[in-house]
Structure 1
Amino acid sequence: MRAIWKGAVSFGLVSIAVRLYSATDEKDIRFHQVHREDGGRIKYKRVCSIDGDEVSYDDIAKGYDLGGGEMVILTDEDFAELPLTTSRAIEVLEFVPAEQVDPILYNKAYYLEPDQTAAKPYALLRDALTNTERVAIVKVALRQREQLATLRVRDNVLVLNTMLWPDEVRAAKFDILDEDVTARPAELAMAGSLIESMAADFNPLSYTDNYREALQEVIDAKVAGREVVQPEETEEAPAAAVDLMAALRASVERARAARGEEPAEATKATKTTKAAKAAVEKEEAAEPTPIKKTAKKAAAKKATPAKKTTAAKKSA
């Protein structure tokens, strides 16, 4: 790996010289735009929209659009005067519990490698973060921009996770959620049963990018001159659920079948299903059908006045 940044982690009076490496590598298959007839690469020219002349990199500046056709031009000198106090330092601001950092703030991950002379303080910070179960909130300047980030431990290595600033996260506002939409107890119990039937320990290696693999096969087939065969659809799109409880029950059974479990097997999911069924029966008893209401009325007619009074008192 090639280091993309060199500097130091600074917390208190301790300074740790480190190198920064990108911790992730996107595996997307990338394409070039080409001429369909002969495969020639499509090139783009930097052309000024006013005079139509091609512009060299040396004559390009950054412009901030004010709207209405007005533009503020900023040069390299303008950016050089900006106060980036953390230009060569990862400044620790505070240490917080890891669970308090909302994952939506995380952006990109980097590994930190210590210099030979900084191995001991590096290990000190790493072990201290592990023992206290906290992460460091830091500021760092990367690519001419000051960023908020966290320092945490992964596989015995310090990892820097750059973060979005709070005002970069959009607020979730959906009018439909302002309505009083609630699930029935029976539905919640059945949903819990479905979750238990699909419960597992997370193993990222068990998941694959099926689209990328299929696309690579198409490319390999083109290279080898083979005929590209369109794979057949193996699964039909699920139909829209009409009865929520029925859909939940079917989902539980499907999840069990996928795991090779018998319907009557005494698992935790089965116990939850029984609880869900009990909740359904309880809910049905609380909301009697017209037949049950008719039967109650018939029984009430046969009952004596004294019994009616007693029943009325009990219901009161």
Structure 2
Amino acid sequence: MHTVWKGSISFGLVNIPVKLHTATENKDIKLRQLHKDCNTPISYKKVCEGCNKEVKDEDIVKAYEYAKNKFVVLDAEELENLRKENEDKAVEIIDFVKIEEIDPIYFDRSYFLSPDATGSKAYSLLRKTLEESGKIGVAKIVIRSKEQLAIVRVYKDSLVMETILFPDEVRNVVDVPNIPSEQTVVKKELDTALLLVKQLTTVFEPTKYTDEYRTSLMELIEEKKNSSTVTASDRQNPMPDNVMDLMTALQASLDKTKKKPTRKKKTAKAKTS
């Protein structure tokens, strides 16, 4: 499993060297965009609106737009120093709370935590402590240059870290339009609704839920792939300027060696004449 972060988690004086692994994966089916006339994939270029020309990566800087068309340019070195300054810090569990106290709207992404070679004993201690206390740890961590609030909890036999949103990242519910004010509910309707809930109440089994749209889409793709409806591009995709096909490189080398002796012979004849 790919490691996305290495560091340590501490609670009190206990320090646990750990690795972070992405716990979930996006199963969305990615569809390419093709030119309708020739079925060639569409590419996107970085173009400067002011100069109306394509811009290379090395000519791009990062900036914060604090007002319309007014920017504060941030130097790459400044950003890198700021990132290192925060990433070098260990993840410290600052509080222990009950998971029921955190509304699901705050949860973001999940990561598996695995102990480093020397961290198994401390890892087991934290896992057992969380199990016995019935609590989860609240911590801070910097991932990909962004400081994240996170919780550490037990999931089966492992520790899981889940990033959660900061309070100012959750929009205020009062800004949601057309929310009805509290109204009197007809008792008969409520009783019927509660009866329906009771009939549909069960134990949560995640394996019984599947993405029916994704399954149907893959079936359609396989059906078209195995039929005569498969299309191919009329031409090969142009290769990037900095990438050369191996056969092309070999042929160019052969052509270059063939041309050298030919030039020498012509030069020699010219001198003789």
TM-score w.r.t. structure 2 length?
0.78
Of the two, which has the highest radius of gyration? Answer: 1
Structure 1 residues 178, 28: CA separation in 2 closer, same or farther (over 3 Å shift)?
Answer: closer
CA distance in 2, matches of 1:175, 1:107: 24
* Counterpart position of 2:169: 168
* Counterpart position of 2:13: 13
1:4 is paired with a residue of what secondary structure?
strand
CA distance in 2, matches of 1:124, 1:78: 39
CA distance in 2, matches of 1:214, 1:175: 35
Paired amino acid for 2:16? I
Deviation at 1:172, TM superposition (A): 1.5
Q: Any conservation in 2 of the 1:106–1:161 contact (CA below 8 Å)?
A: yes
Deviation at 1:190, TM superposition (A): 2.2
Deviation at 1:35, TM superposition (A): 1.6
1:16 is paired with a residue of what secondary structure?
strand
Q: Any conservation in 1 of the 2:99–2:136 contact (CA below 8 Å)?
A: yes
Q: Does 1:190 align with 2:195?
A: no
Deviation at 1:34, TM superposition (A): 1.7
* Counterpart position of 2:28: 28
Structure 1 residues 52, 219: CA separation in 2 closer, same or farther (over 3 Å shift)?
Answer: same
* Counterpart position of 1:179: 181
CA distance in 1, matches of 2:145, 2:182: 47
Q: Any conservation in 2 of the 1:16–1:121 contact (CA below 8 Å)?
A: yes
Paired amino acid for 1:146? E
Q: Which runs of 5+ in 2 are unaligned?
A: 230-273
Q: Any conservation in 1 of the 2:61–2:74 contact (CA below 8 Å)?
A: yes
Paired amino acid for 1:225? S
Q: Does 1:61 align with 2:54?
A: no
Structure 1 residues 216, 82: CA separation in 2 closer, same or farther (over 3 Å shift)?
Answer: same
Q: What is the root-mean-square deviation of aligned Cα atoms in Å? A: 2.0
1:121 is paired with a residue of what secondary structure?
helix
Q: Any conservation in 1 of the 2:87–2:143 contact (CA below 8 Å)?
A: no
2:55 is paired with a residue of what secondary structure?
coil
1:104 is paired with a residue of what secondary structure?
helix
Q: Any conservation in 2 of the 1:87–1:140 contact (CA below 8 Å)?
A: no
Structure 1 residues 176, 65: CA separation in 2 closer, same or farther (over 3 Å shift)?
Answer: closer
CA distance in 1, matches of 2:223, 2:180: 52
* Counterpart position of 2:208: 206
Residues 102-147 of structure 1 show CA distances to partners (whole Å, capped at 9, x for unaligned) of: 1110000000010121101001001110110100000000000110
Deviation at 1:226, TM superposition (A): 6.3
Q: Any conservation in 2 of the 1:126–1:153 contact (CA below 8 Å)?
A: yes
CA distance in 1, matches of 2:123, 2:107: 23
Q: Any conservation in 2 of the 1:6–1:88 contact (CA below 8 Å)?
A: no
Q: Which runs of 5+ in 1 are unaligned?
A: 228-316
Deviation at 1:82, TM superposition (A): 3.1
Deviation at 1:176, TM superposition (A): 5.0
Q: Higher relative contact order at CA 8 Å, sep ≥6: structure 1 or structure 2?
A: 2
CA distance in 1, matches of 2:155, 2:53: 52
2:173 is paired with a residue of what secondary structure?
coil
* Counterpart position of 1:71: 71
Q: Does 1:222 align with 2:212?
A: no
Q: Does 1:45 align with 2:45?
A: yes
Deviation at 1:80, TM superposition (A): 3.0
2:48 is paired with a residue of what secondary structure?
coil
* Counterpart position of 1:242: none
Paired amino acid for 2:126? L
Seq. identity, %: 38
Structure 1 residues 175, 22: CA separation in 2 closer, same or farther (over 3 Å shift)?
Answer: closer
Residues 53-77 of structure 1 show CA distances to partners (whole Å, capped at 9, x for unaligned) of: 3222122111222333222211212
Paired amino acid for 1:127? K
TM-score w.r.t. structure 1 length?
0.68
Paired amino acid for 1:138? A
Deviation at 1:175, TM superposition (A): 6.4
Deviation at 1:33, TM superposition (A): 1.8
Q: Does 1:105 align with 2:106?
A: yes
Q: Any conservation in 2 of the 1:141–1:147 contact (CA below 8 Å)?
A: yes
* Counterpart position of 2:90: 89
CA distance in 2, matches of 1:22, 1:112: 9
Q: Any conservation in 2 of the 1:86–1:139 contact (CA below 8 Å)?
A: no
